[in-house]
Structure 1
Amino acid sequence: MKAIVVKTGNKDAVLLSDDGVFIKARNQNNPLGAVVDMDTPARKKPFAALAAVAAAVVVLISVGVFAYSTSYYFISMDVNPGMIIAANRFERALSIEALNTEAKNILNDIEWKNREIEKVIQNAALKIEEQGYLSDHGEILLAAAGRNEEKAAEMAKRLAISINELKLGDVAVTSEAVGYDMVQSAKAWEMTPGKYNLITKLLGEHLDEANVETFRNQSVKELMESYTAAKGLPGKETAVEQRSMEATQTATETRQHTEQRGTEGTQAATETRQHTEQRGTEGTQAATETSQHTEQR
């Protein structure tokens, strides 16, 4: 018979069997929710079974409430408005912190409480666009941190896709996963993890009291332009031109290679034809000599 562990104690555990009976058994250090095999036990008395049911219900409700109300993900979104969203393991928004006045104005106009995190991000992006923050090659920076790094990385990718699905126009969306320690460091400087990562990791800047206010007030677009200039990377237009030049160069090399192979093929065909003609001439000459030799004999 199989049973599910619904409560654990120091010595005993409460199991729910596959036929709906609650059973008290010795604690084998199995976690809550584990499925275990056990021998068929004697049935409990009605009062004991009722008490076990009540205890299990309380445990399940407590576990569910704790899981729902506990922050599992921290999502930051930056344009110039910057905000941090705390979400539970069910990917529902629990709280949002606006880090500047612009973000407060955005959050006043959207529904977010207990909403799916992707929907909250989409609504915020639409409101940001509506207020003109994404005009002239806008930039959106997303960062996701979580108790599970792989899930945080997956979350960052899905959030970027959800914004791209809005088709906001000429808007660049950057998303990445960051560590939980970066969330804490960013909070200490009153900025989002995404912007903190951009400043300290990509730009290599050291934040202090003298420069933090300047960086805090810069938009993502301004920071990305600084990063592009510092690293000598091409901007949007230059990058497009560079890709076009690379494509043209590749096409030219391919054409030249094809022409060269064609020339080599023509030359080989000519040599083969000449060789065939030479062998034909030699064959005719040999036949003539054979005929003459026969007549002579």
Structure 2
Amino acid sequence: MKKILVPCDFSPCCENALRFAIELAGKCRAEVIILTILRLPEKLSDTKDLYLYRKQAKSGFEKIKKIYQLPIRIRHEITVGKILPEILGCITRKNINLVVMGTKGSRGWEQVFMGSNTEKVVRASPVPVLSIKGLTAVGLIKNIVIPCDLRHHQYEFIEKVKFLQKTFQARLHLLRINTDVRIKTSTLESRLQEYVVHYGLGDTTCNVRFEDDEREGIVHFVKEMNADMIAMSTHGNLDAGHLFATSIAADVVNHANIPVWTCAVNKKLAEPAPPIAGKRASTNKLLSSKLTIP
């Protein structure tokens, strides 16, 4: 991992993510790119506000320079535009490997619109996104929950999970939420063991829980295990017209109280999981300032 992107307006929520990203970059010897996005003024008379916001962003960056004295490279870029397109554009231009974002989340599962900007990035990003809620530290990540769909063609995702495990020196807890009472727990436990062997996973536990709602099942298990992070695959979709589609990963990001790492998986590359006995198949313009901290 060479480049970490942190969209940041220097609010407390974003600064929590920035702190985590800087610590992670120090551990991985990566570069941190802080991206501040200013909205285009609706009226020409509002242009002066744009310069004011830019000044505030530069001031926020200067504060970061004084606080963090780490041997990593940090750059600050200020752009003007819409949040999602600017973030996706930066990912492409800068060859970003990971996006770290702060999120506040919400209380209810259902939302008229998709919710936070973090959720939008989770749904659309072609690279992993680490969503940070609250203040945490890299050294505290020791137990990572992996909600598992039992597919045997997710090599890219699993390799990234292994890197995640190595980086944090953590234990993995594979989790299968069973929403079908006709499927025996023992059957799913066997499938999870096969999954571990198939991908050569180490320091891993296998867990099956019955729950009517998969999202609630994941959150409940995380609390039960007192886990430190959730890692999930998601079907990345860069088409803004699909941003309102159901996404369990985005919902979990919005409601979990711990960091959530999500990784986009190309649907065309992931084959369906084998059928389970007893379950019927369903038919169906850039301003920038740079800093190298010695």
- TM-score range (shorter-chain normalised) is under 0.3
TM-score by length of 2: 0.25
By percentage of residues, which structure has more helix? 1
Rg comparison, structure with higher value = 1
TM-score by length of 1: 0.24
Answer 1 or 2: higher relative contact order, Cα 8 Å, separation at least 6.
2
By percentage of residues, which structure has more strand? 2
